Amino acid sequence: SSEQKKEDAETVVNAKGQYALPGLTDLHVHLGSSGSNFTEFQYLPVKAHFNSNLYLGVTNIVDLFSFKQTLDEAALLKQQQLTPNLFYAGTLFTNPGGHGTQFGGQAYEIAKDEDIDALWQQHLATSPSVTKAVIETFGGMGGSLSDSQLAELGKRSKAANLPYFVHVSTLDDGKRALKAGATALAHGINTENVDQEFIDLMLANNVTYIPTLAVYYNHHEEKHHNLISEQSE
C-alpha cells in the first residue's frame, strides 16, 4: 500500500485526558413530549429537548411524529442557537382511529387505498426526511393498515428516496412491515421471541431495528409486570 501523506491539523485541542467520539444519533424521538408512560406523559419545550440531547452528545435526532407547530419552533431555534441535526417524518400514516390519533392534531388516516395519493402529496409538501407508518390499531378500533396500503407507502417512499419507518409491536406485524418494504422497525417485537423467518427478512432487506428500550422501561406494563426485562433472551 502506498504511504499516505501526513497533513497538519488545522486546530489542535488539548483534551486534558479526555477523548472525542462522533455525535450519537437517536432514531426515535417526538419533540415536545416526554416519551414516558401514559400516566406520566407530558409536553416539553423543544428547546429543552435540543439542549438535553446536545448535553448528552446526541447530535442527530429523528422525529417520528410531530405537529407543524413543533417543527416550526424547532426551525426557529435553529436560527437562534446551536441545535442537533433534525430529521423528521412530520405526520404519520395510520388507520382511522389508529395509534397516533390519540394525541390530537391531524394524522394521515387511510380509510381506503384511494386515500393514499392525496395524503402522500400532503406528506411530500412538508419536505420530510423519512416516512412513518403505524401498524397498531390502538384500542382495537377497526383494522390496521392493510398489506397493500403498507406496500404502497413503501413503494412511494423508495421512489422519493425516503427511509420507511414502521411502528410495530408483534412478530406478525413486524413481518408484514418487512415484506412491505420497511427500512426500519420502530419499537419492534416486545413480548414474543423472533423466529428465523423474521431474522432472514431483516438481513435480506438490511433493516434497522429501533428497540426504544427507555420507552418500554417507563411503560405501565413493563414497569409493573416486567414483560420484557424478565426475558432472559
pLDDT in tens, 196-227: 999 999 999 999 999 887 777 766 666 777 77
Lowest-confidence pick of 71-75, 122-126, 141-145: 141-145
Residue 190 is predicted with a pLDDT of 81
Burial 69-93 (b: 16+ CB within 10 A, else e): ebbebbeebeeeeebbebbbbbbbb
In the predicted model, what is the mean pLDDT of residues 105-123? 94
The amino acid at residue 219 is H
For residue 159, pLDDT over 70 is answered with: yes
Q: How confident is the model at residue 51 (pLDDT cuts 50, 70, 90)?
A: very high
In the predicted model, what is the mean pLDDT of residues 5-16? 89
- Look over the chain and give the mean of its residue pLDDT values, rounded to a whole number: 88
Residue 99 is predicted with a pLDDT of 86
Q: Which of 205, 203, 186, 215 is nearest to 89 (CA)?
A: 186
Chain-centre distance for alpha carbon 79: 24
Residue 167 is predicted with a pLDDT of 96
Residue 50 is predicted with a pLDDT of 93
3-state secondary structure of 167: strand
Q: How confident is the model at residue 134 (pLDDT cuts 50, 70, 90)?
A: very high
For residue 155, pLDDT over 70 is answered with: yes
DSSP string, 34-103: ----TTT--B--HHHHHHHHHHTTEEEEEESS--HHHHHHHHHHHHHS---EEEE--SPEE-TT-TTSTT
Task: Give the percent of the chain with pLDDT over 70.
Answer: 88
| Residue scoring higher pLDDT (40 or 175) | 175
For residue 17, pLDDT over 70 is answered with: yes
For residue 1, pLDDT over 80 is answered with: no
Residue 32 is predicted with a pLDDT of 74
For residue 140, pLDDT over 70 is answered with: no
Q: How confident is the model at residue 34 (pLDDT cuts 50, 70, 90)?
A: low
3-state secondary structure of 23: coil
